């Protein structure tokens, strides 16, 4: 993940709140797939309702998050400094980026969650069950969304069964053990200074992000350099979904991995839960054949997720990463 260099100043403009497209996943799949594709092209963000994640799974995960962040600092520190996994406060990542946030970053692997639960919760079994059930449910939702994207893009048509055409994206994240997906719990306490940055501007390096918050505003997106658009808090039942860098590469720039950030306020805490869907470290990332044409050849070089992750996590938030993998004119 990436944040802005604090020494890099530029004029900013804050516009009115934006109402992101809301996709009802119980509606006709062919219509939903078209709406999702359009949202990914225009905003890189959208919201989904009637998504099939049981309310009790969501509420248990949110309660565990609240319980964790309500602990004294000394107890939270027992989970170990985020390196990159574990508990972090104000310091974001390993490259000097800071923000008004505390967080718990977990690998979305049931076995690893079980091991780490011993250091995170006074009731490890309760925490383990809540996290693993939540991850299982949101991974299933992420796969459904990726299948709808593939359908809307017409991927794999003519290659055989419908399963071939729709699983070209979701197949990268279905493996529970080998994928590099993450779960991040964020807590933004209220601060006295107005318009303080909780988590600085960045794009998500993975394929797809599924985000939930406690209904408190703070998320902003930038569709134009220097212009920030607040995103209205989504309904209690909704997930906010955004395109990651990998998906931008695979769609040859058709889908946008948009810069975003989180702001804090002086009167209310904001909590969010983000699931970052990522492939295995050795997964090959490249433009999908159907989306490269003689008129628009592949914009990016082929790389593995491990190579891209290394590049992403060794740079500062806000620094460009995709440019490192762009094709040159004469490539």
Domain count, the chain: 1
Nearest to 168 by CA among 280, 326, 289, 47: 289
Instruction: Give me the domain span that covers residue 98.
Output: 13-325
* Residue 5, in any domain of the structure: no
pLDDT greater than 90 at residue 16: no
pLDDT greater than 90 at residue 147: yes
Average pLDDT over residues 66-94: 90
User: Token digits for 126?
Assistant: 């309760």
* Residue 8, in any domain of the structure: no
* Residue 85, in any domain of the structure: yes
Average pLDDT over residues 41-61: 97
The values of phi and psi at residue 122, to 5°, are -70, -15
pLDDT greater than 90 at residue 19: no
- Give the pLDDT score at 230: 94
Give the pLDDT band (50/70/90) at residue 156.
Answer: low
* Residue 3, in any domain of the structure: no
Average pLDDT over residues 100-109: 96
Average pLDDT over residues 88-92: 92
> Angle at Cα 266 formed by Cα 260 and Cα 268, nearest 5°?
80
- Domain of 65, CATH number, reads 2.60.120.330
Q: Are strands 97-107 and 182-188 parallel, antiparallel or unpaired?
A: antiparallel
Nearest to 291 by CA among 163, 168, 165, 153: 153
* Residue 36, in any domain of the structure: yes
- Give the pLDDT score at 207: 98
Q: Which residues are catalytic?
A: 270
- Give the pLDDT score at 83: 84
- Give the pLDDT score at 157: 56
List the strands of the sheet with 13-14, edge to edge.
13-14, 227-230, 219-224, 259-264, 196-202
* Residue 220, in any domain of the structure: yes
- Give the pLDDT score at 161: 46
Nearest to 27 by CA among 18, 36, 19: 36
User: Token digits for 95?
Assistant: 């490259």
* Residue 210, in any domain of the structure: yes
* Residue 62, in any domain of the structure: yes
pLDDT greater than 60 at residue 299: yes
Taking the CB of residue 167, how many other CB atoms lie within 10 A of it?
18
- Please state, in angstroms and as integers, the Cα–Cα distance from residue 86 to each residue in 224, 245, 270, following that order: 33, 24, 20
pLDDT greater than 90 at residue 259: yes
Q: Give buried/exposed letters for 77-112 (b at 16+ CB in 10 A, else e).
A: eebeebeebbbbbeebbeeebbbbbbbbbbbbbbee
Q: Is the pTM of this model over 0.85?
A: yes
Nearest to 245 by CA among 312, 199, 178: 312
pLDDT tens profile 211-244 = 999 989 999 999 998 899 999 887 678 999 999 9
Higher pLDDT, 94 or 45: 45
């Amino acid at each position: 993940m990436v944040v802005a260099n604090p020494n890099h100043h530029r004029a900013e403009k804050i516009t009115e709140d934006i109402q992101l497209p809301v996709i009802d996943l119980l509606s006709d799949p062919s219509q939903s797939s078209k709406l999702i594709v359009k949202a990914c092209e225009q905003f890189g963000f959208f919201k989904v309702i009637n998504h099939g994640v049981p309310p009790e799974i969501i509420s248990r995960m949110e309660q565990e998050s609240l319980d964790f962040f309500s602990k004294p600092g000394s107890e939270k520190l027992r989970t170990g400094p985020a390196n990159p996994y574990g508990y972090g406060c104000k310091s974001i990542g390993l490259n000097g980026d800071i923000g008004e946030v505390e967080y718990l970053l977990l690998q979305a692997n049931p076995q690893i969650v079980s091991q780490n639960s011993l250091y995170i919760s006074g009731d490890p079994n309760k925490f383990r069950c809540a996290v693993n059930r939540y991850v299982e449910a949101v991974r299933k939702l992420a796969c459904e969304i990726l299948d709808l994207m593939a359908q809307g893009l017409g991927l794999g048509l003519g290659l055989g069964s419908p399963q071939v055409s729709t699983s070209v994206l979701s197949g990268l994240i279905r493996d529970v053990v080998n994928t590099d997906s993450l779960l991040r719990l964020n807590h933004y306490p209220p601060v006295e200074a107005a318009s303080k940055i909780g988590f600085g501007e960045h794009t998500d390096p993975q394929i797809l992000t599924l985000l939930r918050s406690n209904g408190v505003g703070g998320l902003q997106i930038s569709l134009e350099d220097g212009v920030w658009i607040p995103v209205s808090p989504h309904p209690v039942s909704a997930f906010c979904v955004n395109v990651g860098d990998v998906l931008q590469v695979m769609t040859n720039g058709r889908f946008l991995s948009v810069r975003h950030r989180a702001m804090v306020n002086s009167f209310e805490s904001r909590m969010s839960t983000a699931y970052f869907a990522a492939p295995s470290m050795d997964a090959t990332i490249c433009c999908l054949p159907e989306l490269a044409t003689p008129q628009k050849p592949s914009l990016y070089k082929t790389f593995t997720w491990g190579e891209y992750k290394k590049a992403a996590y060794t740079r500062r938030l806000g620094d460009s990463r995709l440019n490192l993998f762009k094709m040159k004119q004469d490539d």
